[in-house]
Amino acid sequence: MSAHSHTLEHAKEQVKLTPKREAVLNALLMTEKACSAYELIDFCKAKLDLSFSAMSIYRILDFLKEQQLVHKLEVANKYVACAHISCDHQHGAPQFLICESCDKVKEIHIEQSINDALKDNIAKAGYTLKSPQLELTGLCENCSE
């Protein structure tokens, strides 16, 4: 059983998924990249032979997002599967590194001390942060060689 299909099983234990919702999550696990809604439609058609209306994709992605199974990258306007579906650790503020060359996304955890320092810095500027989702664009290991 491949890693991502194992993850899929794990997700289904937590949340009841309709076939279409499962397919969309599956697609995101398969690509391991950030995908736009329309890219997902194309992918599901090509690789899974499943048609989705645009409306449905957005509704399904919203649902999966509520369930913390996927995240939306606001900067790129794309979606990724959560990297922590299989582990049961509580999901804090998600933080992402996005490869601007190949779109590969790594969900990371910044050290708490850095997070605190950042929050402090921001408080000094008079702002209060709600959910500090960090999205940083750079180059992944492969693409930076």
Site of interaction with DNA (CB under 7 A):
16, 18-21, 36-39, 51-56, 58-60, 63, 77
DSSP strand pairing (70-73 vs 105-108): unpaired
Instruction: Measure the CA–CA gap between 22 and 13, rounded to whole angstroms.
Output: 12
Q: From the CB of 143, what's the least distance to DNA, in Å?
A: 22
Contact 42, 85 (CB under 8 A): no
Residue 140 found at the interface with Zn ion (CB under 5 A): yes
* Between 2 and 112, CB nearer to a second copy: 112
Measure the CA dihedral 97/107/134/14, to 10°: 150
DSSP state of 95: E
- CA dihedral for 20, 24, 27, 29, sign (positive or negative): negative
Q: Which stretch binds Zn ion (CB under 5 A): 17-25, 56-64, 98-106, 116-124?
A: 98-106
Q: From the CB of 125, what's the least distance to a second copy, in Å?
A: 5
x/- track of binding to a second copy for residues 61-80 (CB under 8 A) = -------------xx-----
* Between 50 and 95, CB nearer to Zn ion: 95
Q: What are the residues whose beta carbons fall under 8 Å from the beta carbon of 111, sequence distance 6 or more? A: none
Residues near Zn ion (CB under 5 A) are 82, 84, 94, 99, 101-102, 104, 140, 143
